[in-house]
Amino acid sequence: MAAFGLEKRYGKVHAVRGIDLSVTSGRCLGLLGPNGAGKTSTLEMLEGLSPPSAGEIRYRGEALGPRFRDEAGIMFQHTALPEHITVRETLRLFSRLYPRTRSQDELIARCSLEEFLDRDSRRLSGGQRQRLLLAIALINDPSVLFLDEPTTGLDPQARRNFWHLIEDIKAEGKTILLSTHYMEEAYTLCDEVAIMDHGQVIALGTPDALLARHFSGVVLQLPAEALPAPESLSLEIRRHHDRIEIETSDVNATLAKLLAANIPLNELRIRGRTLEDLFLELTGEALRG
């Protein structure tokens, strides 16, 4: 699937500004960006739900059409489920919308729905509801799957269980486009990520390649009170509320400076660079509306 020169305007608002994207069959592409970056508008165009103002989208070399609709599955960020029916009945209802469907028993097992099949969908927990929505997105056995912030609001355990489901689906060779605000999720699931800001793609590549391109060192973390006067150390230091972060490509030399200044290192942490570091480096730390 590929997009060329994709643009989206809403009146005077230029939400997407001529982006090019492609995702190879069987791989996962992640769309990352702060609020208002244009990723939702981009995803809606790729899903065929909103026509682009300019540019084109191709699926298997063709414009989006009946074949794409038959072979695409979408898990929306917000979905209203039918009320007063059970999970089993919900699956039956959605299966009638497609000419070709996956075995419901297989979907039930894949998404671990067995324990609440006969429960009213209104009584599902957040994780159970997301697993049902994923099963609905897989009902037509799609070749390309769209996941729009699928783990928002889930607790860490439910989120990681959901990641395992997505990894199993990837192993089947399905193409996945994932929108997420969780950088660890993107790093774990995505073969490539596209970071968007102000309607444009500002970074594109594999997570590890992007990190290697933008960073060369590691980060040393200390409690803020450990460095009462950090400016005296001639180090690249950032203050984050209750902690100090020191960026360095020479850990030994930096530690020697800290020891020479009698800085306590009992609570020192050393970590590699992450996608979250890159995201903030490229898009800034200011809160978006």
Region of poorest pLDDT, from 61-65, 219-223, 232-236, 274-278: 232-236
Q: Which residues constitute the domain of residue 253?
A: 216-272
Domain membership of residue 224 (yes or no) is yes
Encode pLDDT of 186-204 as tens digits.
Answer: 999 999 999 999 999 999 9
| DSSP designation for 198 | T
Task: Examine the pLDDT at 229 and tell me if it is beyond 80.
Answer: no
Residues 90-114 have a mean pLDDT of: 92
Domain membership of residue 279 (yes or no) is no
Domain membership of residue 285 (yes or no) is no
pLDDT band at 119 (very low <50, low <70, confident <90, very high): very high
- Whole-model pTM: value is 0.89
Q: What is the CATH number of the domain that holds 177?
A: 3.40.50.300
Q: In what order do the strands lie in the sheet containing 13-22?
A: 13-22, 2-10, 54-59, 62-63
Total domains in the chain come to 2
pLDDT band at 231 (very low <50, low <70, confident <90, very high): low
Please provide the DSSP assignment of 228-289 as one string.
SSGGGG-SEEEEETTEEEEEES-HHHHHHHHHHTT---TT-EEE---HHHHHHHHH-SSPP-
Residues 121-146 have a mean pLDDT of: 93
Task: Examine the pLDDT at 289 and tell me if it is beyond 60.
Answer: no
């200011």: which residue's tokens? 286
Same domain, 104 and 138: yes
- Write down the mean pLDDT value for the chain: 92
Same domain, 32 and 152: yes
CA distance linking residue 172 with residue 176, whole number of Å: 11
Give residue 166's pLDDT. Answer: 93
Same domain, 175 and 163: yes
Same domain, 89 and 180: yes
As given in the structure block, the two tokens for residue 163 are 């990641």
Give residue 187's pLDDT. Answer: 96
Domain membership of residue 100 (yes or no) is yes
pLDDT band at 78 (very low <50, low <70, confident <90, very high): confident
Give residue 162's pLDDT. Answer: 92
Residue, of 219 and 226, whose pLDDT is higher: 219
Same domain, 223 and 262: yes
Cα end-to-end span (Å), the chain: 31
Residues 53-59 have a mean pLDDT of: 96
Last residue of a domain, one of 169, 195, 212: 212
Same domain, 173 and 235: no
Domain membership of residue 278 (yes or no) is no
Q: Which of 242, 218, 220, 239 is nearest to 285 (CA)?
A: 239
Last residue of a domain, one of 189, 212, 235: 212
Domain membership of residue 289 (yes or no) is no
Domain membership of residue 257 (yes or no) is yes
Task: Examine the pLDDT at 288 and tell me if it is beyond 60.
Answer: no
Last residue of a domain, one of 162, 195, 212: 212
Domain membership of residue 283 (yes or no) is no
Encode pLDDT of 27-54 as tens digits.
Answer: 999 999 998 899 999 999 999 999 999 9
